[in-house]
Amino acid sequence: MKKQIVPITLLTGYLGSGKTTLVNKILANKKGLKIAVIVNDIGEVNIDASLIQKGGIVQQKDDSLVALSNGCICCTLKTDLIEQITEITETNKFDYIVIEASGVCEPLPIAQTINSISTMAKKYGMPEICRLDCVVTVVDALRMAKEFSCGNDLERENLEEEDIENLIIQQIEFCNVIVLNKVAEVSKEELALVKTVIRKLQPKAEIIETNFAELDFDKIIDSKRFNLEEVAYSAGWIHEMEEDDLRRDREKEEHKHHHEHEEHEEGHEHCDHEHGHCHHQEHEEHHHEHEEGHEHCDHEHGHCCHHHHHDGGETEEYGISTFVYFRRKALSLNKFDYYANNKWPKSIIRSKGITYFEEDPDMSYMFDQAGTQKRIVKAGQWICTAPKEEQEMMLRENPDLGKDWDEKYGDKMIKIVFIGKDMDKEAIIKDFDNL
Residue ranges, CATH 3.30.1220.10, the chain = 236-433
6-232 CATH fold: Rossmann fold (3.40.50)
Residues 333, 357: contact at Cβ < 8 Å?
A: yes
**The pLDDT value given to residue 102:** 78
- What radius of gyration, in Å, describes the C-alpha atoms of the chain? 24
Find the Cα–Cα–Cα–Cα dihedral 188, 193, 197, 198, rounded to 10°. 0
CA distance 95 to 30: 10
CATH second-level architecture of 236-433?
2-Layer Sandwich (3.30)
Residue ranges, CATH 3.40.50.300, the chain = 6-232
CA-to-CA dists, residue 396 to 282, 288, 364, angstroms? 10, 17, 22
Would you place residue 199 in the very low, low, confident or very high pLDDT band (cuts 50, 70, 90)?
very high
Query: Stretch 97-102: mean pLDDT, rounded?
Result: 88
Q: Is the pLDDT assigned to residue 280 strictly greater than 50?
A: no
Q: Is the pLDDT assigned to residue 257 strictly greater than 70?
A: no
Percent of the chain scoring above 70 in pLDDT = 71
Q: What is the value of pTM for the model shown?
A: 0.70
CA-to-CA dists, residue 400 to 68, 261, 388, angstroms? 46, 26, 17
Would you place residue 140 in the very low, low, confident or very high pLDDT band (cuts 50, 70, 90)?
very high
Burial class (CB in 10 A: 0-12, 13-18, 19+), 82: middle
Would you place residue 66 in the very low, low, confident or very high pLDDT band (cuts 50, 70, 90)?
low
Lowest pLDDT segment from 162-171, 181-190, 312-321: 312-321
Would you place residue 243 in the very low, low, confident or very high pLDDT band (cuts 50, 70, 90)?
confident
Hey, what amino acid is at 416? I
Q: Are strands 35-41 and 96-100 parallel, antiparallel or unpaired?
A: parallel
Residue of 108, 39, 49 whose CA lies nearest to 75: 108
Q: Is the pLDDT assigned to residue 226 strictly greater than 80?
A: yes
CA-to-CA dists, residue 37 to 26, 116, 272, 296, angstroms? 10, 20, 64, 29
DSSP 127: P
